[in-house]
Amino acid sequence: ASPCASVNRVLLVLLVLLVCLLLHSTLLRASSRPKLSARVPSGRVSEAEPVVPVVICASEERIGATMAVINSVYSNTDASVFFYIVTLRDASLIIKRIRCGGITYKILEFNPMVLKGKVKPDSSRPELLHPLNFVRFYLPLLDIKHKRVIYLDDDVIVQGDIKDLFNMKLKPGHAAAFSTDCDLPSTHEMVRSIGMQTTYMGFLDYRKEEVRDLGIDPRDCSFNPGVFVADVSEWKKQKITKQLEKWMEENFRTNIYSSAMAGGVATPPMLIVFHDKYTTLDPLWHVRHMGWSPDARYSERFLEEAHLLHWNGPFKPWHYPAVHLDLWERWFIPDPSRKFSLVRPKSNS
C-alpha cells in the first residue's frame, strides 16, 4: 500500500474515534440536564396508554415560567402526559415557535370576551386581572378531550410523579380536589410570619349582606385554586362555570371581594362555589406561599419531601428578590427569542 493510503486510513480511524467521543459526550450531557431538548411534533397520545392531561396557561410575558412547569412535570414521570397549553391569540404564534421536545401538547386559545361584565379594573395587583387567570373557571368550554384533568398555575414546579396526583380518588359528587389552607402544620409558622390568610374571612367581605347570606363561617379554612384535579364531566353536570360566573357578576355589581384581599379576584368565586364540596389533596402536592415574602423560607428538608412547590404571591422565582430560586431555576429553559429572561443580582466578581 502507498504511504498516502496508509495516512488516509489513519485519518479515517481518528475521525471515527472523534465522532464516537462527541456522541458519548452528547449523551452524557443529555442525561444530566432537563429532558426538554429537541422538538417533537405535537399529536395525540395513543388511547391504549394511560394519559395524564395537564392544563396550563401561557401568557406572552411569562412563557419561560410555563416551560419550566412543563419541564418539571415531564422530567419527573414515566407516564404519558398530554399538555393543554392555553393562551391568548397574540401569544399563540410565539408558543408554536418554542422548542417543546418530547412532549405531546395542544395549544388552545382563550377568548377574553367571556369575561365582559364580570371583572372590573383593580389597581392593587393588576396582574391578577389577566384574562388567563380565569381559564380555570372555563374548563368545559375549552377543547379538552379528557374527562379528568390537572390544572396548574405557571408559578409552580413539580417534584413528584404527576401520575400520583392524577390517580387520586375524588369523593362521589365532587368536581374537584384542592389543598386546604389549614392542612399542613409544618407550614403554619411561615404562613403566620408573612400574614397570609387561611380562612374565608381573608377573602370575602363579610360586611356585605350577600356574603353573610351564604351561611359560610368566616373561620372555615380556605383553599388555593392554583393547583387542582378536576372531573370535567362532574363540572359540567353541576354547571360549575355558570355558578362561578354568577359570583363574578355579583362582585362586578356590589364588590363583595377585590384583588386587595388575600387571594385576588380569581379565588373568591371558587371558595364560594366549592365550599364543603371538594376533595382534599395530599398537602405535599401543594406547598405554597413561597412567593409572599422575599426572605421567609421553608426548611430544605421539608422542601425535599414536597411533591409540588408554588410561588404564589408577588415574589416570583424568575425575578429578584425571591426565595428558593435554585429549586425553580433547575427546570428553567432559556428562551431563544429572549422575550423571557431571569432577573438576578449582578455578581461582585
CB environment 56-81: b (16+ within 10 A), e (fewer): bbbbeebbbbbbbbbbbbbbbbebbb
Considering only CA atoms, which of 250, 252, 203 is closest in space to residue 224? 203
Query: For residues 206 and 217, what is the distance between their CA atoms, to the nearest angstrom?
Result: 10
Confidence of residue 268 (pLDDT cuts 50, 70, 90): very high
The stretch 3-26 carries a mean pLDDT of 38
Q: Which residue has the higher pLDDT, 326 or 190?
A: 326
Confidence of residue 188 (pLDDT cuts 50, 70, 90): low
User: Does position 218 have pLDDT exceeding 50, yes or no?
Assistant: yes
148-152 sheet: strands from edge to edge: 104-109, 80-87, 51-57, 148-152, 223-231, 176-180, 279-280
At residue 20, the pLDDT reads 39
Give tens-digit pLDDT for 222-256: 999 999 999 999 999 999 999 999 999 999 999 89
Query: For residues 129 and 105, what is the distance between their CA atoms, to the nearest angstrom?
Result: 26
- Find the angle CA(181)-CA(207)-CA(242) to the nearest 5 degrees: 65
User: Does position 46 have pLDDT exceeding 70, yes or no?
Assistant: no
User: Does position 313 have pLDDT exceeding 90, yes or no?
Assistant: no
At residue 124, the pLDDT reads 66
At residue 139, the pLDDT reads 97
At residue 320, the pLDDT reads 95
Cell 383553599: give the residue.
223
Query: For residues 253 and 117, what is the distance between their CA atoms, to the nearest angstrom?
Result: 9
Percent of the chain whose pLDDT exceeds 90: 60
At residue 341, the pLDDT reads 87
Grid coordinates representing 24? 458519548
